């Protein structure tokens, strides 16, 4: 080989590597493993109690690792497991480098992480840094004197300046986000409960502390972070007045304030990019533009948004199905070219999805649960499946306010009462919408306490665990559980269901949600009946069905371009 040939070969090699560098740019699938994940969310308090104290724990999760793997999910998101006085079940952290006593020890955590990784499962940690607990050493120092070095880790308003401008608190029984603290004659800010003071992100020292905490977990090998309430982190620290009634639309005033993108870019540079961990926002800002700015890969902030409009839709009064379809369609098109979204219908802040979007009457519970899981696992975006939804767990049967444990429910009740609201209506609404519905213990079997605990569970087990439980479904080929496993397998075998272009076919249909997904020459048709009626639907795509991949009924009534879908029937097809 003469030097000319070598030179040419070198040029060609460089061109190839340049091209491959281009294709592994921000939008390539190489770095974007998180798009293909199927996330299983575990509320640790409620998953499995290994020591009989009535509270789920890390050893309990370890006992169930094989079960988790068997679901076909690929990653686990754990709600906060750090030391906490539990004013808001762990969303009030008193030590970010330690494990909550109720949940176990750091050794348990290391074993859990190892056990997940051995099974090819990733771990996403919840990082709660819009606020800490008032029992965190930073806050104890901060409130001790006005000149303490930690004073500026939080937001303080000296009382001699008068009362600060009103700020709304989501969990305070008076709805007040400023709390007067006698010791230093000043008010501190808490967007959530009084025991969750907001951290001051304009302080670079605080920011560095947070990045160090995140690095601590990243170095342990966690694979990602979910940023709790982080869209509220940046604040105008002059605390100007907001218009009266702003609290009805507080997101517009609290979310995505100036500075937030700088903090995220800094966090990305310091943590995410260094450790190749994935990042998911809680929320998606005030509008599509905010959402884009959060997750446009070129901006180097977060990987995926987590928009609430879909889940927020279902209330005690019902929900508008047209709007449901419109919201998911709009989010899809907003991220068609750039950015990425999470797909979910439930989490620990929501009541159970079957009771809200499906039908929890005995006759329809199973089919509607299967239908909703089919939706989540056939949309574009990363699916987040909430523990128990693979079984079709439903809302529970709370009676009086004493049955609830959630601070939002308890303080919401006090607030409504003091305002003279209609308390019968309040309670009906709470029984349906309360977050505690989504937090009842996992239903492992039909024994007392559903196999969750040998003690008294911190929140009563749903009485329907006698019929809705893992044991009962495990060997039933037609169970909700088996259907869930079939869905995860289908998604993994069909990348088109992850990356494929989405097109809605029936935006105005009153009962059916039909859409196609298309990718690299393969086209899928998804037909979902969101109602208890038997519905006939005519679509040219139906004629092109080549293979049916999933059906939540044993039969399918299909002729030419017409399909008759039974109550909550859900089918997925490959088209010619
Ligand atoms: C959002 C969390 O999901 C919720 O559970 C918590 O109460 C608030 N943030 C406050 O941390």
pLDDT digits (tens, 9 = 90+) for 508-521: 999 999 999 999 99
User: Which ligand 1 atom is at minimum distance from the Cα of 128?
Assistant: 11
DSSP symbol at 511 = S
The yes-or-no verdict on residue 3 having pLDDT over 60 is no
Closest Cα to residue 524, out of 380, 340, 324? Answer: 380
Answer whether residue 17 shows pLDDT above 90.
Answer: no
- The residue to which tokens 């460089």 are assigned: 14
Catalytic residue among 102, 282, 332, 406: 282
C-alpha of residue 537 to centroid of ligand 1, in Å: 41
Closest CA to 345 of 389, 402, 391: 389
Q: Please determine, for residue 20, whether its predicted confidence score (pLDDT) is greater than 60.
A: no
Which residues lie closer than 8 Å to 105 by C-beta, 6 or more apart? 58, 99
CA-to-CA separations, 317 to 169, 236, 356, 360, 401, in angstroms, rounded: 25, 36, 10, 16, 20
Tell whether the model's pLDDT for residue 8 goes beyond 50: no
Q: Residue 351: how many CA atoms within 13 Å on its side-chain side? A: 27
568 lines ligand 1 (CB under 6 A): no
DSSP state, 370?
A: H
Rounded distance, CA 235 to CA 198, Å? 10
- For 417-465, the pLDDT digits (tens) are 999 999 999 999 999 999 999 999 999 999 999 999 999 999 999 999 9
CA of residue 192 to ligand 1 center, whole Å = 8
Q: How far apart are CA 426 and CA 439, in angstroms?
A: 20
The CATH architecture to which 501-575 belongs is: Sandwich (2.60)
Catalytic (active site) residue 176: no
pLDDT digits (tens, 9 = 90+) for 132-187: 999 999 999 999 999 999 999 999 999 999 999 999 999 999 999 999 999 999 99
Cβ burial of 57 (10 Å; 0-12, 13-18, 19+) is buried
pLDDT of residue 30: 52
| Residues paired with residue 187 on neighbouring β-strands, in sequence order | 157, 180
| Alpha carbon distance 477, 498 (integer Å) | 25
Report the alpha-carbon distance of residue 212 to residue 274 in Å, rounded.
12
User: Is the CB of residue 391 below 6 angstroms from any atom belonging to ligand 1?
Assistant: no
Decide: 129 and 199 in contact? Cβ < 8 Å: yes
| pLDDT of 66 | 98
Distance, in Å, from the CA atom of 503 to the CA atom of 164, rounded to the nearest integer, reads 49
Assess whether pLDDT exceeds 80 at residue 5: no
What pLDDT is stored for residue 458 in this prediction?
98
pLDDT at position 21 over 80: no
Mean pLDDT of 86-99: 98
| Ligand 1 close to Cβ of residue 306 (< 6 A) | no
Is residue 31 very low, low, confident or very high in pLDDT (cuts 50, 70, 90)? confident
- Does the beta carbon of 296 sit less than 6 angstroms from any atom of ligand 1? no
The CATH number of the structural domain formed by 137-189 is: 3.90.400.10
- Indicate if the pLDDT at residue 89 is higher than 60: yes
pLDDT value of residue 1:
41
Ligand 1 atom closest to 130 (CA): 11
- What's the DSSP call for residue 435? G
Q: Which of 88, 134, 173, 228 is catalytic?
A: 228
The closest-lying atom of ligand 1 relative to the alpha carbon of residue 131 is 11
In the predicted structure, residue 335 carries a pLDDT above the cut 50 = yes
Full strand arrangement of the beta sheet holding 545-551: 501-504, 512-519, 522-529, 570-575, 545-551
Indicate if the pLDDT at residue 4 is higher than 80.
Answer: no
282 is catalytic: yes
Question: In the numeric block, which tokens belong to residue 136?
Answer: 């965190």
Q: Ligand 1 center to residue 431 CA distance, Å?
A: 19
CA angle at residue 329 from 518 to 232, to 5 degrees?
A: 125
Average pLDDT rounded to a whole number, residues 319-346: 96
Give the C-alpha separation, 401 to 40, whole Å.
30
> Residue 158: phi, psi to the nearest 5?
-65, 135
Whole-number average pLDDT of the chain? 94
Q: How far apart are CA 354 and CA 395, in angstroms?
A: 8
| 192 close to ligand 1 (CB < 6 Angstrom) | yes
Tell me the percentage of the chain whose pLDDT exceeds 90. 94
Ligand 1 contact, 228 CB (< 6 A)? yes
pLDDT at 301: 97
- What is the domain partition of the chain in residue ranges? 1-31, 33-133+204-399+442-488, 137-189, 400-433, 501-575
Determine what percent of the chain is predicted with pLDDT higher than 70. Answer: 95
Count CB atoms within 10 A of the CB of residue 344: 24
Atom of ligand 1 nearest to the CA of 92: 11
308 lines ligand 1 (CB under 6 A): no
**Torsion-angle region of residue 434: left (phi > 0), alpha (psi -120 to 50) or beta?**
beta
**DSSP character string of 442-495:** P---SSGGGGT-SS--SSPPPGGGGTSSHHHHHT-TTSHHHHHHHHHHHHHH-T
pLDDT the model gives residue 389? 98
Helix or strand run (H / E) with residue 70: helix 65-70
Whole-number Å distance between alpha carbons of 538 and 340: 32
* pLDDT tens for each residue of 456-497: 999 999 999 999 999 999 999 999 999 999 999 999 999 999
DSSP 3-state of 224 = strand
Q: Per residue in 310-332, pLDDT tens?
A: 999 999 999 999 999 999 999 99
C-alpha distance across the termini of the chain, in Å: 51
**At the fourth CATH level, which superfamily is domain 33-133+204-399+442-488?**
Glycosidases (3.20.20.80)
pLDDT reported for residue 246:
98
């Amino acid at each position: 080989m003469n030097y000319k040939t070598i030179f040419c070969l070198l040029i060609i090699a460089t061109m190839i590597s340049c091209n491959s560098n281009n294709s592994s740019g921000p939008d390539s699938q190489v770095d974007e493993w998180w798009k293909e994940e199927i996330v299983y969310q575990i509320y640790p308090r409620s998953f499995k109690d290994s020591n009989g104290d009535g509270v789920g724990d890390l050893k309990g999760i370890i006992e169930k690792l094989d079960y988790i793997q068997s679901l076909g999910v690929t990653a686990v998101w754990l709600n906060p497991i750090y030391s906490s006085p539990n004013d808001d079940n762990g969303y009030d952290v008193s030590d970010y480098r330690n494990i909550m006593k109720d949940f176990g020890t750091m050794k348990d955590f290391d074993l859990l992480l190892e056990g997940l990784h051995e099974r090819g499962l990733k771990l996403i940690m919840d990082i709660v840094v819009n606020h800490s607990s008032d029992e965190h050493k930073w806050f104890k120092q901060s409130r001790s004197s006005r000149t303490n070095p930690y004073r500026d880790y939080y937001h303080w308003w000296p009382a001699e300046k008068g009362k600060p401008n009103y700020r709304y608190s989501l969990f305070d029984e008076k709805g007040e986000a400023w709390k007067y603290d006698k010791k230093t004659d000043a008010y501190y800010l808490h967007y959530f409960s009084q025991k969750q003071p907001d951290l001051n992100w304009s302080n670079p020292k605080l920011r560095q502390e947070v990045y160090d905490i995140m690095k601590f977990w990243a170095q342990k090998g966690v694979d990602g972070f979910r940023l709790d309430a982080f869209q509220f982190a940046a604040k105008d620290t002059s605390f100007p007045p907001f218009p009266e009634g702003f609290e009805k639309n507080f997101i517009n005033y609290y979310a995505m304030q100036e500075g937030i993108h700088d903090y995220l870019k800094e966090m990305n540079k310091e943590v995410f990019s260094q450790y190749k961990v994935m990042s998911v926002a809680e929320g998606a800002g005030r509008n599509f533009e905010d959402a884009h700015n959060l997750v446009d890969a070129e901006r180097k902030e977060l990987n995926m948004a987590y928009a609430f409009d879909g889940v927020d839709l279902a209330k005690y009064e019902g929900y508008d199905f047209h709007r449901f379809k419109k919201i998911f369609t709009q989010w899809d098109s907003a991220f068609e070219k750039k950015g990425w979204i999470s797909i979910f219908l439930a989490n620990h802040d929501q009541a159970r999805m079957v009771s809200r979007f499906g039908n929890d009457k005995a006759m329809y519970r199973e089919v509607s649960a299967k239908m909703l899981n089919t939706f989540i696992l056939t949309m574009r975006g990363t699916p987040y499946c909430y523990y128990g939804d693979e079984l079709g767990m439903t809302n529970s049967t709370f009676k009086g306010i004493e049955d609830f444990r959630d601070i939002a429910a308890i303080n919401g009740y006090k607030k409504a009462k003091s305002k003279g609201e209609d308390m019968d209506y309040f309670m009906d609404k709470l029984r349906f919408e309360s977050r505690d519905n989504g937090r009842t213990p996992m239903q492992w079997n039909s024994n007392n306490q559903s196999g969750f605990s040998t003690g008294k569970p911190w929140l009563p087990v749903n009485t329907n665990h006698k019929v809705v439980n893992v044991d009962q479904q495990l060997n039933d080929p037609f169970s909700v559980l088996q259907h869930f496993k079939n869905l995860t397998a289908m998604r993994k075998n069909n990348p088109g269901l992850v990356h494929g272009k989405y097109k809605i076919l029936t935006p105005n249909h009153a009962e059916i949600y039909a859409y196609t997904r298309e990718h690299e020459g393969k086209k899928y048709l998804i037909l979902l009946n969101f109602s208890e009626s038997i519905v006939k639907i005519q679509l040219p795509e139906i004629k092109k069905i080549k293979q049916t991949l999933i059906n939540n009924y044993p039969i399918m009534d299909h002729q030419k371009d017409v399909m008759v879908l039974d109550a909550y029937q859900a089918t997925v097809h490959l088209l010619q």
